[in-house]
Amino acid sequence: MLTRKFAPTSHLFTHIAHSLLQPLQSVLRKSRLRDFEIAPGATLPEVRLDPRLGCDCADPGCQHLISDALRFHSPNAPRPGIMRWTVPSAMLLDLRNFPTAESYVQAVSKRSRGNVPRAAKKAVRLGCTCMPIRLESYAASIAVIHASKRFRSGGPVLAAWFGAQGNLTDSLAPFEAPVCSKHWTLSWGAFLDEGGGPRLIAYLSLRRVGDMCRTHELMAHGDYLNTGVMKLLFLEVCRWLADRKAIEAMGLSWFMYGALEHGGSGLHEWKRLMCFEPMTFTMTS
């Protein structure tokens, strides 16, 4: 039996497998473009993203996030000729199309025939609540979430095969606003109180670099997937972004959720219902 001490290596294996499979996956799953009435192999819209957005970026944290984003997103740049098939089609939500949070929710409701807002309401009825969190403050809960299901829509979760680390605790330290409002990683959590106090059952981390933010990490506890908690959490985060009232959400134009070719058919359909569209993009350095 595999032991818990191997758990940290699971992230490395997942990363290597992902890097090797991505170009192949991009070729094989271009047929998903038909769900957007785009022919497989067609040239996708290209957008240019600004990773600085006027920030003088003297903070080393800003510099780190900018260089990380330029490296991380380089595969999303369009390529000529037959190589365009190997480019992962970034799934981008154009926030500029939605002047208010309500206009976004209406668009999602229309596309999903009311199903997404209905699922979110069910989670609220069951007692789920969402709020920004400091991810490090829930280390034990997050380890339990990771270990709760071996197969996810994005593929196998190796941490679930090794078991949760047992020496972690939740410090419950409160959320802290990021140093720079244009360069940050921040997280939201979903909680359910079943009698022993609010318990973290899902989380969603976002990373913003300039005019775009992307899903960084997200997962729900396997035992609570049928509550609709992930749909509620995702919708709440999108509402927060489209609302633009928080300083961290001001000036954002794009929200990226992986690539068209990533994950199973359920994840693909979820992105479509949430109004993400396939595109290619380059970041100006």
Shortest CB 207 distance to Zn ion, Å:
13
Query: What torsion, rounded to 10 degrees, do the Cα atoms 137, 163, 222, 33 define?
Result: 100
CA distances from 239 to 41, 99, 211, 228 (A): 33, 11, 17, 16
Shortest CB 282 distance to Zn ion, Å:
20
Shortest CB 149 distance to Zn ion, Å:
36
Contact predicate 119/227, CB 8 Å: no
For residue 69, what are the contacts with CB-CB under 8 A and spacing of at least 6?
Answer: 51, 207, 209, 210, 283
Question: Given the complex with Zn ion, which of 168 and 180 has the nearer CB atom?
Answer: 180
Contact predicate 92/254, CB 8 Å: yes
User: What CA–CA distance (Å, rounded) separates 42 from 220?
Assistant: 35
User: What CA–CA distance (Å, rounded) separates 251 from 147?
Assistant: 37
Residue 2 token pair: 């595999």
Question: Given the complex with Zn ion, which of 184 and 203 has the nearer CB atom?
Answer: 184
Question: Given the complex with Zn ion, which of 182 and 268 has the nearer CB atom?
Answer: 182
Question: Given the complex with Zn ion, which of 119 and 252 has the nearer CB atom?
Answer: 252
Query: Sign of torsion, CA 84 85 86 88?
Result: positive
SS3 34: helix
Shortest CB 180 distance to Zn ion, Å:
3
Question: Given the complex with Zn ion, which of 58 and 82 has the nearer CB atom?
Answer: 58
Shortest CB 57 distance to Zn ion, Å:
5
Contact predicate 158/146, CB 8 Å: no
Shortest CB 54 distance to Zn ion, Å:
9
Contact predicate 258/91, CB 8 Å: yes
Question: Given the complex with Zn ion, which of 105 and 213 has the nearer CB atom?
Answer: 213
SS3 102: helix
Task: Give the footprint of Zn ion on this chain (CB under 5 A).
Answer: 55, 57, 62, 180, 182-183
Shortest CB 174 distance to Zn ion, Å:
23
Beta strand extents in 103-211 (DSSP E only): 129-133, 151-152, 155-156, 183-193, 198-209
Shortest CB 66 distance to Zn ion, Å:
8
